[in-house]
Amino acid sequence: MDEGLRRQYLDAMGIESWVPRRSGGNPLTVNERQAAACPPDVKPLQPEASPSPPLWLEEVPPPTEEWVPLEMPPTEPAPEADIASLDWPALAQRVSCCTACELHAGRRQAVFGVGNRSANLMVIGEAPGAEEDRQGEPFVGRAGQLLNAMLLAIGLQRAQVYIANILKCRPPGNRDPRPEEALRCEPYLRRQIALVQPRVILAVGRIAAQNLLKSQEAVGKMRGRPFRFGEIPVVVSYHPAYLLRSPDQKVRAWQDLQQVAALLKD
């Protein structure tokens, strides 16, 4: 239709028609109008060229019957869930056969735990040393003798408490347990605590305190403060091996033991 005639019809109907024009008289394209409205740092949208499929996609052969997905292996219960239901004999057996971390390769035997399985007090240490690895019992070396004396000081025989470690296997050269080793071993200790149900836990040394309480703090910062493992009060103190090297700290350990005794009386 002739442009003049079209305008006349539109004017007669009361419709204003306005078309932006370039200086040369041609209407602006969509992109040019968008560019005029955008802040300078925002690029106007460009129509996307449809990409051609990549070559490797074209090379994929069509599915055949061989492409049926492999059957998944039957799901096994998570090891921790399994360990959490074991009784004492099954738990001890599981620990003695454990190969969950590399430490099993260097052990003479796993060191499970010892003492009264219904104890009010549970003592948790770090890991077996050479003598413990030999005898299969925690805290039997010099540190163990000091621990016995410390317990006696609050009226407890060794056989009255339950003693266990964060790790059940001896780390080579008595190095510190690695975090992944402590994690692998954790379900065993958790189960031991659940079975004993002690009224109080005494965590001796940094490794025991940090792993049990999921903390990064030094023992010196933790001792004297109230902690809990679940519902169970936890007293943090120095490791007997440290006390053998730093006897001047025994007075602090004695304060911690008195705290244990007070909690047991409650």
- Strand order across the 200-204 sheet: 114-115, 162-165, 121-125, 200-204, 232-237, 227-229
Q: Tokens representing 82?
A: 């399994």
**Do residues 181 and 171 lie in contact, with contact meaning Cβ atoms separated by under 8 Å?**
yes
Establish if 128 lies at the interface with ligand URA (CB under 6 A).
yes
Task: Write the DSSP symbol of residue 232.
Answer: E
Number of residues binding to ligand URA, judged by CB under 6 A = 11
One of 132, 133, 181, 256 touching ligand URA (CB under 6 A) = 132
Q: Return d(Cα 158, Cα 139) in angstroms, integer.
A: 10
Q: Return the residues of window 157-176 that contact ligand URA according to CB under 6 A.
A: 165
Judged by CB, which is closer to ligand URA: 143, or 150?
143
Choose the binding region for ligand URA from 40-48, 127-135, 225-233, 256-264 (rule: CB under 6 A). 127-135
Establish if 209 lies at the interface with ligand URA (CB under 6 A).
no
Judged by CB, which is closer to ligand URA: 198, or 240?
240
Establish if 139 lies at the interface with ligand URA (CB under 6 A).
yes
Establish if 177 lies at the interface with ligand URA (CB under 6 A).
no
Judged by CB, which is closer to ligand URA: 200, or 241?
241
* Shortest distance, position 247 Cβ to ligand URA, whole Å: 17
Closest CA to 232 of 123, 133, 132, 152: 123
One of 107, 116, 121, 138 touching ligand URA (CB under 6 A) = 138
Judged by CB, which is closer to ligand URA: 30, or 218?
218
**Do residues 83 and 187 lie in contact, with contact meaning Cβ atoms separated by under 8 Å?**
yes
Q: Which DSSP string do the residues of 31-80 spell out, in sequence order?
A: HHHHHHHS-TTSPPP-PPPPPPPPHHHHHSPPP-GGGSPPPPPPPPPPHH
Task: Write the DSSP symbol of residue 184.
Answer: H
One of 98, 100, 123, 125 touching ligand URA (CB under 6 A) = 125
Judged by CB, which is closer to ligand URA: 20, or 106?
106
Residue 21 CB partners (closer than 8 Å, separation 6+):
27, 28
Choose the binding region for ligand URA from 2-10, 58-66, 132-140, 251-259 (rule: CB under 6 A). 132-140
